Amino acid sequence: MALALWSLLGATTGAAWMRPPIEGGLSHPVSALCLLLLGASVLVPAGLRRGVPVLAGGVLLMVAAGVAPRLTALAQASPGGLSAPGGIDLGTAVMIASLAVARICAAAEMILAAQWLVFLGIWTAILSLIGLVFDAPLPQGVMAPMTAVVGLLLATAFLARAPHRGILRAVLGAYPAGQQARWQMTLGVVGPVAIGGLFLERITSHEARGDVALVVVLIVAFYLLISALNALAFERSDRARRRLERERRYLAERDGLTGLFNRVKFEQRFAAASDLRGGRGVPFCFVLVDLDHFKQINDFAGHEFGDQVLRQVAQTLQAGVRPEDTLARLGGEEFAILLPGRSLAEGLDVAEALRARVAAQRFSRRGATSAQARGAGGARGLLSGQVAVTASLGVAEWSPGETMLELYSRADEALYAAKGHGRDRVVAAPPAGQAGAGQTGAGQAGASFARGAAEAGGRGALEPVGGASAGPERLVPGGVAPGGAGEAG
């Protein structure tokens, strides 16, 4: 913008000290004003971005008015620069128009089209500069050096606004497509320009020099175009390949229903946590979660509703753990959680908070079929309304040298102890090598104890659902009953 403003002031004031040392180097006033407006479009605040197409449209009208005399007279620009009649030359008009249309495309999120138009403007400016350097006349006319330089700077600014999209993503990326394209483009520019320069040094005819310069620029432009198209196609196919690889990795380590980690990924995380524990002495806990009476949900409310419950419970559990924790679905209604850096007491606190989250959640369901109702023994409560689902949890702290299977077995024993003492509770497994998991009541860290609904007046206790109280029913074997313990499940 500063150079465009300098050129505009020099053209309008006629100050000799503002003119470049190169003859004809100062931009035409119309060209300078157009470039100044395009530069201003880059600095437009976010709230006024809708005005960018209007600004670019005004630039296009000015370019059309400026180049009209040249097109009408079919005349070349005179060497007098500003004193030459006929407005701006054709090359300048093409460069400014391509940049203006590029701004309109960018505002419409047509990034690829905008980048191609910017490259057209760059090619036009470079073509004029090469003609100036080698003193070779070009058919599109003589572009003022100041105009060409400002145009190149504006084009660079336009491209820098979306460096990770379109052609630039393909050419500048760290993937093989970008690396190959950069080498090809470098050789495609250096080679023809060097060879063309040697030929131009031996040619004395002014017209012949212009022809050679034009051929060199066309060869370079064609090579750059082919390299860019090749990089773009290669990058798109490579991006599709990378996306498929990510999807395969995701499916290989994720549960298809809930999106949580699966057993394979959980075992990998366990191996990493156990290695960390062995090297740094960092404790970690293993929590096993099993939904109570989940078979009744599938049998009497349908598997579709059962899947809905599993997904919502997975989201609830995920919201209750840290990003560094590992939550996985091992199968059916069973979930497992790895809590790195947590002692047994801390793991029990986390498990109790998760139990309370699950118990507080309500699941809306659609009505079941009459056949399902008869299978449920006429339990009408299962046909409409909401369902409260509870979970039993077993917690075990890993001991050095303990395998995944051994840790799982201890947590599983604690889990079944929780179910045997009424469900909807947390039970801690004793340390490795000790027996007797599943005793209820408070206890010391490392001893077996239970938390949950069975603790009278204790933290996280839930009131029975059903009976005279208004609220959702809790699913138990044989239909709907107010609270109470039932069979394991």
Known catalytic residues are 333
**By C-alpha distance, which of 145, 230, 129 is closest to 185?**
230
The H-or-E segment that residue 334 falls in is strand 334-340
φ, ψ for residue 386, nearest 5 deg: -120, 160
Query: Tokens 């839930």 appear where?
Result: 462
Residue type, 114: A
Helix 145-160 × helix 111-133 angle, to 10°: 150
What does the alpha-carbon distance between residue 111 and residue 107 come to, in Å, rounded to a whole number?
A: 9
Distance CA 199, CA 194 (A): 9
Ramachandran sector of residue 75 (left: φ over 0; alpha: ψ -120 to 50; beta: rest) = beta
Which residue pairs, CB below 8 angstroms and at least 24 apart, start in 173-181? 173/235, 175/235, 175/238, 176/234, 176/238, 177/231, 177/234, 177/235, 177/238, 178/231, 178/235, 180/231, 180/234, 181/227, 181/228, 181/230, 181/231, 181/234
Cα-based torsion angle of the residue sequence 416, 417, 421, 425 in order, rounded to the nearest 10 degrees: -80
Identify whether the C-beta of residue 1 lies closer than 8 Å to the C-beta of residue 39: yes
Q: What span, in angstroms and rounded, lies between the C-alpha atoms of 81 and 413? A: 92
Q: Measuring CA to CA, which residue among 242, 321, 252, 290 is closest to residue 413?
A: 290
In sequence order, the 6+-apart residues with CB closer than 8 A to the CB of 239 are none
Tell me the two tokens of residue 140: 């599109």
Dihedral sign from CA coordinates of 423, 429, 434, 439: negative
